[in-house]
Structure 1
Amino acid sequence: MLQSHQELPDCFYLAQPILITPHSPTPNHFLYLSNLDDQNFLRFSIKYLYLYNKAIDIERLKSSLSRVLVDYYPLAGRLRRRNNEENDDKLEVECNGSGALFAEAFMDITAQHFLEISNKPNWSWRKLLYRSQGLSFLDIPPLVVQASYRPTVFFSIK
């Protein structure tokens, strides 16, 4: 029987994350956040972990993300402080098509094993998410996607 405090393995990356840009041109403008969306206590990222038993085609996932970013183009932009002398702390989305961050990771765990380990609260699942580097949340793209999978043959990186 697995214990609920069992740690998940670390993910490892063979390459640096890349930017996935919209497939076709998108509007280039600024979107102001509403006063409700721009509260200081809401300035953090929300992390989701989706688990699939079926293998994914990484190139197809990248292509799909690129096409989706055409319709949801603000997610390919960047958050920034608004250039306004009277309210210096207000944020806006610069819709510029810079792209979403895409990281490809490998791990030595199956979906079934993950579910067995995580049948009770287990904070080590956060190890499975790419940690974007930045001085603040403004330095991180609004959308960061990581595809993690178990290689057919496990190998070690030295």
Structure 2
Amino acid sequence: MKGQVHLYTGNGKGKTTAAIGLAIRAIGADLKVFFSQFIKNGEYSEIKALKNIENIDIRQYGEEAFINGQPDEKDKASARKGLKEIKEAINSGDYQVVIIDEIAIALFFDLIDEDDLFEIINNRPDNVEVILTGRMAKESLIDRADLVTEMKEVKHYYQQGIMARTGIEK
């Protein structure tokens, strides 16, 4: 099976959820998954659940949330460390599915170099499926992916003042 590159992007809810769904499907088929997250750090509900499942390794490469501000050198250092570990995971032979959650945002904020990411993706073993997520995907990332799904927000209850709820959005 030749691995493909998926991209889940757009301003709608469900990008990480879609990637996790694919991870569950892969684990059900006895594949091993490396699940990495840029930007995020912490015990989100999905992270707590995934830690209870065999055949998935989880890494987070986020620092203090800067999403309302600008990243600093600490954020960039964490992202570079993440990219290095992702390269090692992809090339280890241990994983058939590698999820790189929020990579589009990491690229948008220049936390990592796009050429470094593409070098890793383009030189991966043939059997490794790569799943990329994040809003504000650059055109070059869309062009590189084999499958692109755009989550489009049509309506969301946060517009009525309903904040993120544990177990649903966080």
- Work out which of the two has the higher radius of gyration on C-alpha atoms and give 1 or 2: 1
**Fold similarity call, TM over 0.5:** no
For this structure pair, what is the TM-score category when the shorter chain's length is used for normalisation?
A: under 0.3
More helix, by proportion: 2
TM-score (norm 2): 0.25
Normalised to the residue count of structure 1, the TM-score between the two structures is 0.26
